[in-house]
Structure 1
C-alpha cells in the first residue's frame, strides 16, 4: 500500500545494510528469548573502532562516546551517496490486546476476537497499555537514564507510531528522561503514519482519529498530510508480511532521504520492528513488549527505482477451528 504522505521517488533508491559487530543483538550467539537489553547497556559490545586513538584500549566507560565518534567518522569519510544512522527501535509495552490474545489463544484471536472492539474485560480498538505495559515503559525510561550517565548518544529525532499504545510508551519512556527537548510537557516526537503494526482486520491495529490523538498528546507533532481518519486500515483484509516489509522499505527510504540526523528513536510494534530489521538485513530478533534494540544502518543511495520485490497479496480472515472449508 502506498503511503498518501510519502515523498518517495523513482529517481533513486536506498540499499540498506546493518553494520554488524556493534551490538550483541547482531551476533548469532545471542538468544533473543533470554537477552535483557536493560541490564546489558542495550547490547553495546566493548570493542575498539577504527576512529579510536591508536594508543587507547577498549574501555566500557567510554564505549558510547567512542561509538558516537565512530558514527561521525563513518559519515565524514563516506561518499556523498552513503549515510550511517543509529536507530533505537522500541516496542510498545504490553497492551490490552496482548492480554486478550493470550486469553483466547492465537488461533481464536486471529479468526474471531481480533475483529471485535473488545470483550467484558476491556476494549482493544487502538489498544491502550495495561498497567504492566506502563511499567515496561518505565523500565525503558530507567534504562535510558542509566545510559545517559554512560554517554549514550541522544536521539536527535523521535518517531512514533500513531497507535495509542506507542504514543503512551514513548511518553513514559522519554518524557523527563534528561535529554534536551524531553522534559515534562515538552516531549515532541513526530507521529508517522507508516510506523504502524501489521495493517488490517485486527481492530487493535486500527488507529484513532487525528483529533483524538492530538487531544491525548498535545505536544506531539504530525507529519505533513496526516489525515483525520485512518487511511490504511481494512476491515476485511490483513497485510501480508512481504507487503509490510515493502511498507517499511518505503518508510525507511522517507526517513533516510529527509532526516539529516544520525541518531533516531522509533517507538513502534513487533511487526514493524521485524520488518525494519528485515529491510536492513539484520538477523531476526524478536522483542518482548517494552523491549529496545539498537541497530547501526548503512544506506547507499543508488540511481533508479529499487529492485522488484515479491509482495504477496493481503488475505482475509482465517477460519476458526471447526468452521470447515470456505466454498468458492
Structure 2
C-alpha cells in the first residue's frame, strides 16, 4: 500500500462555483506599449479599442467556447466597463453577428469598431462591474468613458451596478498600487461568491488578474501556483473552481 499522504479533497458541489477568467483581446495600447512603454501615457490610447488581430482572437476564442460547450454552461458574463473588455465579452459570449437592429448587445460599428452588430439572443446576461477594472490611474488607456456613452452602443449590457456616470475611480496623477489592485480583486471575488449563478464568465484585465491570482495556491504544489498566477495572454481563458470552505456563506 502506498504510504504517500494524499492531498486530495472533496467538497459539496453546492459550495463550488466555476469561473471562466478571460483577459481582453489585443488592444491598440498593447501594440504601442510593447514597442515603447511610455506609449501607455498617451491620450491617443484613451479607452483603447481592439485591433484587427484582437478581433481575430475574439473569434477564435468564441469557436473554442462553443466547441467545448462552455457557452451552454455560463449563466452570467461579468465585464469590466472599458471598451476593449466590452468588445471582447460580447464577441466571445454574445449571440453572434447579426444584421438585425433589435435585441443587440453591440450595435453596428460601435465607437468606430468597424464590426457588425452582435445579438443579445441565445446568450447569457451581461453585467458591467467596476471592481474588475484594470489597474487604475495615470494611463489614459485605463480611463473609461461615461456610462451614458456606452449604453447606446452596448444596449444589451446591464450597467446598473455602476453608480457614477463619469469615471471617478481613475486619477490622472495617482497610479493604483499593485497590492491595492490585489485587494480590489479579492473584494470582487468575494462579491462574485454572493451571486446565485454557479458558472460565471469574467472578462477583465491582466493587471487585475495577476495581482489577484498570486494570492492563491500557496498551500499547493508549486506547479499549481505557477499555473494559476502566471500572466494571462491576450484573449486567454482559464477555468477555475471557487470553493467556500468556511461554510459561512
Classify the TM-score, shorter chain: 0.7 to 0.9
Q: Which of residues 67, 76, 82 in structure 2 aligns to 1:146?
A: 67
Q: Which of residues 210, 230, 233 in structure 2 aligns to 1:274?
A: 210
- Residue 153 (structure 2) pairs with residue 216 (structure 1): yes
SS in 2 for 1:88: strand
Hey, what does 1:29 align to over in structure 2?
A: none
Residues 302, 236 of structure 1: CA spacing in aligned structure 2 closer, same or farther, 3 A cutoff? farther
Hey, what does 2:95 align to over in structure 1?
A: 176
Hey, what does 1:115 align to over in structure 2?
A: 41
Pairs within 5 Å for 1:11-160: 74-76=12-14, 83-104=15-36, 106=37, 109=38, 113-118=39-44, 124-148=45-69, 154-160=73-79
Q: Which of residues 85, 98, 121 in structure 2 aligns to 1:166?
A: 85
Contact kept, 8 Å, 2:185 with 2:209, in 1: the verdict is: no
Paired residues in the alignment total 212
| TM norm structure 2 | 0.77
Q: Which of residues 127, 131, 136 in structure 2 aligns to 1:194?
A: 131
Q: By percentage of residues, which structure has more helix? A: 2
SS in 2 for 1:197: coil
Offset, 1:278: 2.6
- Residue 249 (structure 2) pairs with residue 297 (structure 1): no
Q: Which structure has the bigger radius of gyration?
A: 1
Contact kept, 8 Å, 2:181 with 2:212, in 1: the verdict is: no
Q: What runs of 5+ residues in structure 1 fail to find an aligned partner?
A: 1-19, 22-48, 51-72, 77-82, 119-123, 304-328
SS in 2 for 1:293: strand
* Cα distance between partner residues in 1 of 2:71 and 2:63: 13
Offset, 1:222: 1.5
* Cα distance between partner residues in 2 of 1:271 and 1:224: 22
Hey, what does 2:173 align to over in structure 1?
A: 236
SS in 2 for 1:162: coil
Offset, 1:223: 3.6
Residues 221, 174 of structure 1: CA spacing in aligned structure 2 closer, same or farther, 3 A cutoff? same
* Cα distance between partner residues in 1 of 2:49 and 2:243: 34
Q: CA RMSD in A?
A: 2.6
* Cα distance between partner residues in 1 of 2:73 and 2:56: 22
Q: Deviations over 1:170-204 (max 9, x none)?
A: 11101226xxx998233531000111011111000
Hey, what does 1:31 align to over in structure 2?
A: none
Contact kept, 8 Å, 2:71 with 2:93, in 1: the verdict is: no
| TM norm structure 1 | 0.59
Residues 225, 90 of structure 1: CA spacing in aligned structure 2 closer, same or farther, 3 A cutoff? closer
